[in-house]
Amino acid sequence: MTERLPSRAADIRVGSTTDGLTPISVAERQFGARWPQWLSLASVALAGLGADQLTKSIVTSRLDLNDQVHVVGPFSIHHVTNSGIAFGLFASATSLVILLTGLAVAWMLYFFARSGSRHPVLPVALGLVIGGSVSNLTDRVRLGHVTDFLDFKYWPAFNLADSFIVVGVAALLLALVASDRQATRPGRVASHADRAG
């Protein structure tokens, strides 16, 4: 009398191979940046760098240091300099700021090389952060400070590069959260009964 072994249900998962049985390993999914993502990143970064450098050049050529022009409400164009990072932080540690900024840009490029196609917003988000960081880094190396001019009176003056960095980081975090939620969302797999019906 032979003992009958219980039948084992087939391991069918979303993303299985064409036979519907062999699961595809998550490790096989390619998230590395390809040339379209690199082109998008470079375009956004160069546009951000150019816009920031242009506005700083206009401010320094039209306004003397500490001069300001009232625009509307609490907002004014106020020519000031800053040797620290965004919004005047670490103003007395220029060399450290240069080193940390360089390391941050290198890490972002490494991250993008490995995950650039993970979400369509990544090239734009990282492009803004890298463009703003490189623009301010260029000024610190060349001049020892950056030019800030966007002054809302109740907040330290800042520039376009600072704005790009803040917007880029926010977009990057939202994109990563969205991609993680999408990756962990349980997919519905049709059973044999569903297919038969």
Quote the Cα angle for 182-114-136, to 5°: 105
Regarding beta strands 68-72 and 75-82, do their DSSP bridges make them parallel or antiparallel, or are they unpaired?
antiparallel
149: left (phi over 0), alpha (psi -120 to 50) or beta: alpha
Is 162 annotated in the active site? yes
- Alpha-carbon distance of 117 to 126, in angstroms, equals 12
Q: d(Cα 154, Cα 135) in Å, to the nearest integer?
A: 25
**Of 19, 148, 151, 180, catalytic:** 148
Active site amino acids: 148, 162
